[in-house]
Structure 1
């Protein structure tokens, strides 16, 4: 291209990084560029009033005006900050390859505060606030504004436990603290288009658009379009507690999105995997799916239980939309996580040498181990586990399982009878039950325990209107009882171990036939169907 391309940007360090990256990519294709800093409308001499220029944005307004007024040829934006509706005359010219999309917690003085009931976390994002409070309802969130450098300084100057940042911003400015001073929040769903950089241009400049198209990263563009379609249809804008992430893996688009009430007490989720060629309307589909199920009310911080339902139940673990749909249409359900799982950091020496015998009693332990190490680093000769789903996860991610049983006692009995090398490594959590290690130790088998995750209680008060409470572990019951009474609700339990704990506190306990969520939901349907039939017979 013959002319020098004028690249409009804000003058912050992060914005300049983005603009310079775009400049380098364009120059690779043989053109000259010039960076033009635009920080206020005062920098621009307007030929027309703003409304005639079609400018409706707030923060991107300055660059839009400069572009429409001919002061710059293209504008470079952090895509997550761009309104879903571009001003008339301006179009998306390219999206460069996406960087790391994760959020990260920068800690003030280490991780010890996780063990305390209260903590203070700083963020200026409503999305991050809602997701953090959903996971840690007893924590306090304080506001945090400014550029990356000023926010890091505020963390240093204030008595906070940590602050949440976009990891990519810290990495691009080489400000990401050492590994022991930050935690990647891979459980937090990022903002739509987080980590992506968008280049905007005038729709009438066809030659420029054709040239800039060369730096467009097609995979990133497809993914962020799905995410922004989801945001657009929900009409949440940049301040709504909405997260969305689309990834292309092996010719499939994996899409996950969530919507929270502003106080973080309630959430709705949507997830779906489809072939790339069928993903063009995935974001719209997901948004409409949630809107049909009360998303508008949730955004307004109104409880999303359907008051017309004849029966209301509460799940102490978040249910997916597919799971919720397995309940009878007359049953309304609300859910929150009463326990959270935090993966520990494990030293490489743990798996440096081959391990002959390893035991897993939960999927959480498998996922925590894989969070620390690549599957290729795990050299296990014999793998033993509890549960069909744990076995399925191990064989999908690590290797063949030699023996699995339905509960820890049965697995311990098997190991006592069949283990030749009387030594095992047990990957577990901080609240693991005693049956397996006790039985093995009593039978002269050495148990090397590796605590790879922590189960933390996240109690919350719920209204006393639910006819059934769903429990998935003894820890979930413990967490529930901290702020709630047993009342007259039926306790639905996922297995015998959980039921044994529930019997101590609830008069009516029902245990699922199989230790799966699906079986638990079937037991809920069966119980209330039986009650309904009984009431009909009495009439």
Structure 2
């Protein structure tokens, strides 16, 4: 059987770049493709912080519905936006090779505020908590919208800077000259990676996408998302995770963090294990944090976010 694979995507510039990347790779393998763009709730409602919307997978839900209803065959996502539990009938079909995992601070040329009082913008609780942990005297304000919208809001504001994922800005050539790498900030689980999902009974699309899968990225993001899922974070708790493969030693290094919303509390774990232990690495790291006080903090975070 041959068919045209309909690729579902959000309609932002970055999402379309990701969809076109998958389209190009599939076409190089000889597949016929078509891109179908839809607008997600997360792109429409910009006047509320994400955690206040109370929806897990707000950027993926619209595409989930489009897949289940047969409007599209596959969907391309920034992997960090995808809930750790996929809807029934939808499966992870490919993880593309990871790009830059680093968060960056885009600023306006003057960094004096870093040693005094400053105002930083981000829509991420993870970034907010880590920033306040390092700069407790600063103010963090909410910033929503796609990357283009957020960059424009920063330029029109009196904020000192805003935090972005380097990968997103690099992919659409929007990374400005005035930025610094935040190499101390632990990224979101699966940051810099792209996931493609398909229906579990769609063997044609699954076979096609299996050829795009990057095994090292798949393993590392699995560990990070397992850590997130075990902490029961969803996208609303300040959780960071990064797994890296050391090819020379055949080992995995994992770093995971859980913060309080205001950044005053921090639980961190660093582990290096043999590659053979990858399947339980994220789970074991999360259990260690939960046992050592993380479970109390997670309960407190959930209570505060409900208010």
Q: Is the structural similarity TM-score above 0.5?
A: yes
The CA deviation at 1:28 is 1.5
Unaligned runs of 5+ in 1: 42-54, 303-539
- 1:58 is matched with 58
- 1:285 is matched with 284
The CA deviation at 1:212 is 1.1
- 2:108 is matched with 108
Deviations 1:233-276 (A, max 9, x none): 11011011000000111221110000000110010011101111
- 1:535 is matched with none
- 1:82 is matched with 82
Counterpart-to-counterpart distance in 1, 2:237 and 2:14: 23
- 2:305 is matched with none
Counterpart-to-counterpart distance in 1, 2:179 and 2:64: 36
Query: Which 4+ stretches in 1 moved above 6 angstroms?
Result: none
CA RMSD, Structure 1 to Structure 2 (Å)? 1.6
Counterpart-to-counterpart distance in 2, 1:110 and 1:219: 39
For the 8 Å contact 2:83–2:235, the answer to whether it is kept is yes
- 2:180 is matched with 183
The CA deviation at 1:280 is 1.2
The CA deviation at 1:56 is 7.5
- 1:234-253 aligned at under 5 Å gives the runs 234-250=231-247, 251-253=250-252
Structure 2 counterpart SS, 1:72: coil
The CA deviation at 1:142 is 0.9
Deviations 1:214-245 (A, max 9, x none): 00000000000000000001101101100000
Counterpart-to-counterpart distance in 1, 2:239 and 2:32: 39
- 1:299 is matched with 298
Deviations 1:195-219 (A, max 9, x none): 1110000111123212210000000
Counterpart-to-counterpart distance in 2, 1:131 and 1:300: 19
Counterpart-to-counterpart distance in 2, 1:56 and 1:141: 23
For the 8 Å contact 2:40–2:59, the answer to whether it is kept is no
- 1:37 is matched with 37
Across the two proteins, how many residue pairs are aligned to each other? Answer: 286
Structure 1 counterpart SS, 2:120: strand
- 1:465-504 aligned at under 5 Å gives the runs none
For the 8 Å contact 2:56–2:235, the answer to whether it is kept is no
- Which of 215, 218, 239 is the aligned partner of 1:218? 215
Q: Are positions 1:136 and 2:135 aligned together?
A: yes
TM-score by length of 1: 0.52
Structure 1 counterpart SS, 2:35: strand
Counterpart-to-counterpart distance in 2, 1:208 and 1:246: 29
Larger of the two Rg values belongs to structure: 1
Counterpart-to-counterpart distance in 2, 1:301 and 1:205: 42
- 1:123 is matched with 122
- 2:160 is matched with 161
For the 8 Å contact 1:267–1:298, the answer to whether it is kept is no
- 1:492 is matched with none
- 2:151 is matched with 152
The CA deviation at 1:301 is 4.7
Counterpart-to-counterpart distance in 2, 1:208 and 1:201: 7
Counterpart-to-counterpart distance in 1, 2:158 and 2:38: 35
Q: Which has the higher contact order (CA 8 A, sep 6+)?
A: 2
Q: Are positions 1:230 and 2:227 aligned together?
A: yes
